[in-house]
A and B are shown apart, each in its own frame.
Chain A
Amino acid sequence: MAITLSENAAKRVQKFLDQRGKGIGLRLGVRTSGCSGMAYTLEFVDEAQPEDLAFESHGVTVLTDPKSLAFIDGTELDFVREGLNEGFKFNNPNVKNTCGCGESFNI
Chain B
Amino acid sequence: MALLQIAEPGLSAAPHEHRLAIGIDLGTTNSLVATVRSGETAVIEDEAGRALLPSVVRYMHGDSPEVGYEAQLRQSDDPHNTIVSVKRFMGRGLKDVPGAAATPYRFVDAPGMVRLETRAGVKSPVEVSSEILKVLRSRAEAALGGELTGAVITVPAYFDDAQRQATKDAARLAGLNVLRLLNEPTAAAIAYGLDNASEGTFCIYDLGGGTFDVSILRLRQGIFEVVATNGDSALGGDDFDERIARWATEQGKVAELQVTDARLLLSLARKAKETLTDNDSARITAALASGQELDLTLSAETFFELTADLIAKTLAPTRRALRDAGLGVEDIDGVVLVGGSTRMRHVRSAVGEFFEREPLTNLDPDKVVALGAAMQANLLAGNRKADDWLLLDVIPLSLGLETMGGLAEKVIPRNATIPVARAQDFTTFKDGQTAMSIHVVQGERELVSDCRSLARFELRGIPPMVAGAARIRVSFQVDADGLLSVSAMEQTSGVQATIEVKPSYGLSDDEIAGMLQDSYTNAQRDIESRNLREQRVDGLRLIEATQAALDQDGARLLSDVERISIERAMETLRVLLNQSDYGAIKRASESLNRATAKFAARRMDASIQSALSGKRLDALEA
Contact = CB atoms under 8 A, between A and B. Distances in A.
- B partners with A: yes
Interface of A: 12-13, 15-16, 19-20, 26-27, 29, 31, 33-35, 39-47, 80, 82-90, 98-99, 101-104
B9 interface: yes
A87 B16 contact: no
A89 B3 CA distance: 5
B5 A42 contact: yes
B142 A83 contact: yes
A56 to B, nearest CB: 18
B378 to A, nearest CB: 13
A85 B4 contact: no
Interface centre among A12, A29, A39 (most CB of B within 10 A): A39
Contacts of A34: 14-16
B74 to A, nearest CB: 26
How many residues of B sit at the interface, in one of the four size bands? Answer: 20 to 34
Interface string B233-271: 000000000000000000000000000000000000000
A43 B6 contact: yes
Contacts of A84: 44-45, 47, 139, 142-143
Interface centre among A44, A47, A99, A103 (most CB of B within 10 A): A103
A16 B8 contact: no
B144 interface: yes
Given A16-B39, A84-B143, A40 B4 contact: yes
Contact of A33 (B3, B8, B15, B47): B15
Contacts of A19: 39-40
A23 to B, nearest CB: 8
A48 B16 CA distance: 28
B3 A80 contact: yes
13 contacts: A16-B38, A34-B14, A34-B16, A39-B14, A42-B12, A43-B8, A43-B10, A44-B7, A45-B9, A80-B3, A85-B144, A88-B3, A88-B4
Interface centre among B2, B44, B145 (most CB of A within 10 A): B2
Interface string B97-122: 00000000000000000000000000
A64 B40 CA distance: 23
Nearest to A101: B2
Interface string B4-28: 1111111110111000000000000
Contacts of A40: 4
B37 interface: yes
A88 B39 contact: no
B16 A35 contact: yes
Contacts of A12: 38
B66 to A, nearest CB: 20
Given A26-B6, A42-B6, A85 B16 contact: no
Contacts of A80: 3
B1 interface: yes
A75 B433 CA distance: 46
Contacts of A35: 15-16
A6 to B, nearest CB: 14
A89 to B, nearest CB: 6
Contact of B145 (A15, A85, A98): A85
B1 A89 contact: yes
Interface string B37-58: 1111000110100000000000
Given A44-B7, A84-B47, A84-B143, 20 more contacts: A16-B6, A29-B12, A31-B12, A33-B15, A34-B14, A34-B15, A39-B15, A42-B4, A43-B10, A44-B8, A44-B39, A46-B9, A85-B142, A87-B4, A87-B145, A89-B3, A101-B15, A102-B1, A102-B2, A104-B15
A44 B5 CA distance: 10
A85 B3 contact: yes
Interface in B301-336: none
A87 B3 CA distance: 5
Given A20-B39, A84-B139, A43 B3 contact: no
B43 to A, nearest CB: 12
B17 to A, nearest CB: 9
A101 B14 CA distance: 13
B143 A103 contact: no
Contacts of B14: 33-34, 39
A34 B16 CA distance: 8
A20 B143 CA distance: 21
A83 to B, nearest CB: 6
Contacts of B16: 34-35, 101, 103
Contacts of A87: 2-5, 37-38, 145
Contacts of B2: 87, 101-103
Nearest to A15: B40
Contacts of A99: 15
B49 to A, nearest CB: 10
A95 to B, nearest CB: 10
Contacts of B145: 82, 85, 87
Contacts of B3: 80, 82, 85-89
A80 B5 CA distance: 11
B63 to A, nearest CB: 23
A104 B1 CA distance: 9
A101 B145 CA distance: 11
Contacts of A47: 9
A88 to B, nearest CB: 5
Nearest to B46: A84
A13 B16 CA distance: 23
Contacts of B1: 89-90, 98, 102
B288 to A, nearest CB: 41
Give the 7 A-B CB pairs with smallest separation, nearest first: A87-B3, A102-B1, A34-B15, A41-B12, A103-B15, A84-B143, A85-B145
Nearest to B42: A19
A26 B9 CA distance: 9
